[in-house]
Structures are given as structure tokens and as C-alpha cells.
Amino acid sequence: MNKKRAVFLDRDGTLNRDVGYPADWTQVHLYPFAVDAVRRIREAGLAAVVVTNQEGVGRGFFGRAELERLHGEFAAAFARAGAPIDALYYCPHAALDGAGGPGCACAKPAPGLGLRAAAELGLELAGSYMVGDKASDILFGRAIGAIPILVLTGYGPRALAELERRGLRPEAVAGDLAAAVDWILEHEGRGPGRRKGTAP
Ligand SMILES: [Mg+2]
Ligand SMILES: [Zn+2]
């Protein structure tokens, strides 16, 4: 049997508004399309796996226990809505501008979180997808051999400019996660191709 593939999802700026360093669930504002996007991913037979850099831990803004409590609430909100997230992986280390902190192999764009998810969940990374709003998400997607998609929520517009400057291209650019999932379903050959806001 073929291994399952995944849609890796960035958290802040992709599933919820990026408000800096949310320390508890009351500061997390899910985008209105987030739950439905996860549901559609799972209905397509793909795993929904959140991969997030949370250097607020390494910087001492909040502890691991607080972050894990927040992630418990995060996962519960999706589960309650009938769209459970398959898994959530985070890097707690303080990184320098997404470049990966000293001694840390898990801050995106380093592939650590994706490799760990693949090993623990038995995922096939080739043909998986990565959706995020920063250049580090796109580079992470490439690093794990997945198909990277940039969303224009959060830091997306700035990331697009940065990627262009560096001559790097996401596989697709989507207005938001809902449009990214449209693109994925179309790419999977399942969707009706009714979408807007994406470019090659
Ligand atoms: Mg983000
Ligand atoms: Zn790390």
C-alpha cells in the first residue's frame, strides 16, 4: 500500500492571524476558512500536519507547557468542528530570522519537523504539499521534497517580494489557505477547478 501524503500547514499567518507571539488560546484568531480547509484536505485522503516555528519559547516569552496547552486547544477546536488535525510539530528554539538557530535542525527552513513527521506518521514526502506565508515555509517545502505553496495572508505579500528578489519560486501562489486547497485538489485531479487568486 502506498504511504499517505500530507499537506503540511504553517500555523501563524496561514491557519490563524499572525499576531506576533500568542501565548494562549484567547490570542489565537483562526481564519474563517481554516477548519473547512483542513476538512477538505482530509477528505482528499491527505494528512493535515501543522509545522510551526515557535521561537517565543526560546526567547522566553512563554514556556513549553503554555505552548503545548495552546496547541491542545488549537487541536481541540479543529476536532470539535469535525476536521481534526493529524499532528502538530513545533520548533521551540530561538532562531535568527527564520535562518535556523545555533544547534537547531528543526526551525523551518531546516527540514527537521517534516522529516520527524514523515518518520512518526509514516508519510510520503514526495507529492506532499507545504502551505505557508513566509519564504522559510517555501524553502522548507523544497527541502523536504514537497510542493510549496505561498499564501498571501500574514507575511505572504512580503515573502513573495523576497522570493522574487532571491529568484525563488513557490509552485503556486494562493490568496489564502482556501485557495491553496483549491489548487491542491485540482492538482490532485479531484477538484472542479473553480478557483481564483492563484498563479503558476
Ligand atoms: Mg507563518
Ligand atoms: Zn528547533
Burial class (CB in 10 A: 0-12, 13-18, 19+), 150: buried
In this predicted structure, what is the pLDDT of residue 104? 85
Tens-of-pLDDT digits for all 200 residues of the chain? 689 999 999 999 999 999 988 989 999 999 999 999 999 999 999 999 999 999 999 888 999 999 999 999 999 999 999 999 999 999 999 865 445 445 688 999 999 999 999 999 999 999 999 999 999 999 999 999 999 999 999 999 999 999 999 999 999 999 999 999 999 999 999 655 444 444 44
Burial class (CB in 10 A: 0-12, 13-18, 19+), 186: middle
12 among known catalytic residues: yes
In this predicted structure, what is the pLDDT of residue 94? 83
Separation CA 27–CA 12 (nearest Å)? 11
137 CA to centre of ligand 2 in angstroms: 14
In this predicted structure, what is the pLDDT of residue 103? 62
The bridge status of strand 47-53 relative to strand 4-9 is parallel
Counting ligands in written order, which one lies closest to the CA of residue 130? 1
Rounded to the nearest 10 degrees, what angle do helices 177-187 and 34-43 cross at? 10
67 CA to centre of ligand 2 in angstroms: 14
In this predicted structure, what is the pLDDT of residue 130? 98
Q: Which residues surround ligand 2, an ion (CB under 5 A)?
A: 91, 93, 104, 106-107
